[in-house]
Amino acid sequence: MIFGVSRKDMASRSRLCFLATALVLQCTMLLLQALVHNPTGVEARVLKEKIRLCDLSNMFNGSWVYDDQSYPLYDSFVCPFISQQFDCQKNGRADTDYLKYRWQPTDCSLPRFSGEDFLEKFRGKRIMFVGDSLSLNQWQSLTCMLHAAVPQAIYNTWEAKPSNYFEFPEYDLIISMEWHQFLVDINVDESMGRVLELDSIKGSGDTWKEADLLIFDSWHWWFYKPPVQPWDYIEVGNETFTDMNRISAFAIAMGTWATWVDSNIDPSKTRVFYQGISPSHAIARDWGGPRRGNCAGYSEPFEGSQSPMPRNSGVYVMKFILNRMNNPASFLDITLLSELRPDGHPSAYTDTQQNGRDCLHWCIGGVPDTWNELLYAAIVSDKHP
């Protein structure tokens, strides 16, 4: 007997306490299951606050997390749509860890990409990427992601310059990519040659009006010099220049594009995104790397959620322009998350026609898959831009 209580009574009371505790735990689990599967009222608001699914206001700040349980999203060896230039695994890249990183926003959770849901949302629709080879990167990534979701589905692909097309007949869905690296017109004048017209969007815009989802991209081609530069003169209004500040030219052209979108796109029918500025890792000095270094040899992301690279002026230009639109396009701000991935480029594992290291484009699978995950998250979120 201890303090007037027999050992037998203590044992009995212990069993009762154990049973009571077990009953409380069981009731708690049942309550939690009920809240998760059928949340209502206050409970639903509490769960939503805890989960905090991402939208365009909070998905772009974060860091990369190694996740070999969920990634890669597909096997690039069995995706038939990847250009040799981006097909790093088939080109001999031996390491695979770069395929297994997940973007984790700081203050929210991204929904798991569902190819089946994406296809249903866009059944009977037209999706169009418009831009340069970075648009091609994202377009090919999306076709791989969707093909992996429905690998038995019939598909068709064809080319009709300046566009490439991918079709899922079962879903009456066409996803195209139109090569239009400046988004404004280049016209050929017999006496002058090729003229980049910063205030003109004419013929190409007709095809854009047909899309239900538009993703635009323009940046890198604005800084190429002869002989790669595909124009001879720049025209603004009635003035013609042999050259001008390239960021100024970019800003004028994007202002023209924004005015065209405001004037020609019905936001109740068509959702418009600007892809954002994809960075290059061609100069390691930009992030404090070796003087003659580039993206070669990197096999993992930069740590943390702060970019070690200089601020990209194109981001500021586009945010300024988008904020002045009457019906703002959504900004898919991929710059930070991409700046943290020097390991994601083809580098030496590109096609044989490329000279040197490709530190501009991205391996597929890889970083462009995350761009498309963010695109999907923006589409399924409740908030428009």
Active-site positions read 133, 358, 361
Tokens of 325: 């639109």
H or E, element range at 235: strand 233-236
> Between 313-323 and 246-264, two packed helices, what is the crossing angle to 10 degrees?
30
Is the dihedral angle over the CA atoms 140, 146, 148, 154 positive or is it negative?
negative
SS3 119: helix
Between CA 130 and CA 382 the distance in angstroms is 25
How many C-beta neighbours within 10 Å does residue 132 have? 19
Tokens of 12: 């009995």
Distances from the Cα of 51 to the Cα of 33, 95, 101, 109, 190, angstroms? 15, 34, 21, 7, 61
Closest to 145 in 3D by CA, of 345, 364, 346 = 364
